Amino acid sequence: MKKLLSLALLLLVSSIGVAQIKLDVKASLNNVMRYGSGTERNNNLEYGKEYFENLSDARLSVNDIIFGMRYEISQPIEYGVDYKGIRKRFIEYNNVKEGINVRAGDFWEVISRGLSMNVFEDRTQFYDTGIDGIKAFYKKTIGEKNPVKVKAEMFAGMLEYNDFANVTRKEVYNVRDANFEISPVKLLNIGANYVYAYGKVPTSSDTTSIKAYIPEGYLSFNYKNLQLFASYAHKHVSTDANTSYPVPISAKGDGFYGSLSYSMPKLGVTVDYKNYRFDMTNPDNRSADRPTKMLPFQNPPTVVKEHSSTLISRNPHVVDFNDEVGAQIDVVYAPKDNVTFNVNAAVASRHFDYLKTTDGGKLVYTRIERDGNYLPSLDKQFSPYWEVYADGEWYVNDKLYTKVAYDRQNAVTYNYINPNASEILKVNTIPVEVRYSLTKEYTLKFIVENQWVENNIRVGEKSYMNNLFSVSLSRSPNISATFSAEFTNDDEEPTGKKNWFIGEVSYKFNSANSLTVSYGTERGGLKCTNGICRFVRPFEGLRLTLNNKF
């Protein structure tokens, strides 16, 4: 890779020296510095926590050539493994007029909706599945009277996935991808993608070598107010024999995602459907490190609503991409310019139930076939999840804005060993937000959230309440201050606390530079974004974030 970058740079310099070229040179620098100091809690253990992270992303473009790199100092890092040095670097040729793009180095990419390929970075989740390699992209419109649009892309490289639940565990893949799309008519787009990868997946006692083959086909159709999208991917994984898996495995799975949207003045309706069966397996074989699981470079749509409410987000649905079927409907209705309603309903479950028997004292699970397995079931043995959400927004006048919402979540985690011990979680949440402009510069915002939780497997009281209160005062355009308080009457709260208080101040030096400082106690819990979930540990202390763009 270093030789390739050097050769590209040499060619650029040579071309400049040979011909008289008018240079268009642009440079930018984006720097993010994060610092935290305080105490963190892991179960019953409390310990000091300090981190310092600085990421500097620099970019230089000379006509159609772009150079980029990231210099990172994470010593100590908040989560993960400490690092100091150049983390990302690339050189890219981007000719927009000719529809050609070639990039060597680090990159991220999503094909279609991500059933076969979706690699991305989310620093808030400490998640990165970027590829280090080479990528080539070409698109062209053929004809003028009845134009046909085509797009082709190929890339290959190395992907290293660090498990953020266990930072010492790393999966390594060599990935190859070929993608082609054609739009024979204006209303229709058809695409195909093929992924080949070979890699090493570590388990608790061994490392398994695998080969994966994932073809995908998809199409989109747009006609007036109607938009239709459908995608299907098939996954085949074969493993080499080792001590953990003495017999080679050949596992097949697939996934389907479809979306239908209709929009008209004042009304929009979207229906999503998912049927993910990338690695359906028995209840006693669902470890997160099994080599036949959905691979980290795949990340399909979750088909559940992501919330901005703090308390609703405390109980996210963790999507099982290996075995989950479900649907979602989202309706937006605006009867007036200053009034908007949103209603969302989602349901999901596993595909099959399993019969538990014993064979020589060993538990044996046999799948019970179900004709309607393409639809979710609300029977508890399928670990169903459903949610209903509704909100209304009202801009009363130029000064006053209000939003009231209601959310109901119901989730079952089925226990095959002891069905009577299956967890049934019922959560009702009502968030309220009010914003009032005191003057043209000053705005006051209040957020009040109340939540009622019922959990049948708790030792003591089965029900408890959570409450959140937040008040913010902002001065446009550069400063805001927020104070938040959270309370619970949960006697089984893992930290033993009943209240959490935090204050935050944010200051914008200008449109491109800002500083955010917070101090207080954070409750922690499960956090999910784009289907990626991790547990955030309770933290008490100081956090500081400095953003600079030049």
DSSP string, 469-495: EEEEEEETTTEEEEEEEEEE--TT-TT
**Could you identify the residue written with the tokens 């050769």?**
7
Q: Which domain holds residue 211?
A: 108-261+271-299
Whether 205 maps to a domain, the answer reads yes
Is residue 323 domain-resident?
A: no
Q: Is residue 132 part of a domain?
A: yes
pLDDT digits 0-9 by tens, 338-390: 999 999 999 999 999 999 888 777 888 999 999 999 999 999 999 999 999 99
Residue 7 above 90 pLDDT?
no
In a domain, 122, yes or no: yes
Does 41 reside within a domain? no
**pLDDT greater than 90 at residue 204:** no
DSSP 321-356: TTSEEEEEEEEEEEEETTEEEEEEEEEEE-S-EEEE
Percentage of the chain beyond pLDDT 90 is: 81
User: Residue 401: what pLDDT?
Assistant: 98
- What's the domain count of the chain? 1
99 burial via Cβ count (<10 Å: 0-12, 13-18, 19+): middle
Is residue 510 assigned to a domain?
no
Q: State yes or no: cis peptide before 76, omega within 30 of 0.
A: yes
- The pLDDT of residue 535: 85
Mean pLDDT, to the nearest integer, of 199-217?
93
Q: Which tokens in the block code for residue 111?
A: 């094909």
Residue 175 confidence (pLDDT) above 80: yes
Measured CA distances, 391 to 331, 334, 432, 482 (Å): 11, 12, 9, 24
Q: What is the mean pLDDT of the chain?
A: 93
- Cis geometry, peptide bond prior to residue 477 (ω within 30 degrees of 0): yes
| Per-residue confidence (pLDDT) for residue 3, from 0 to 100 | 52
Whether residue 137 lies inside any domain: the answer is yes
Maximum average pLDDT range among 23-27, 310-314, 444-448: 444-448
Distance between CA 107 and CA 129 in Å, rounded? 9
Q: What percent of the chain clears pLDDT 70, i.e. is strictly above it?
A: 96
291 within domain boundaries: yes
More confident residue, 445 or 16: 445
Confidence band (pLDDT; 50, 70, 90) for 166?
confident
pLDDT at 102: 97
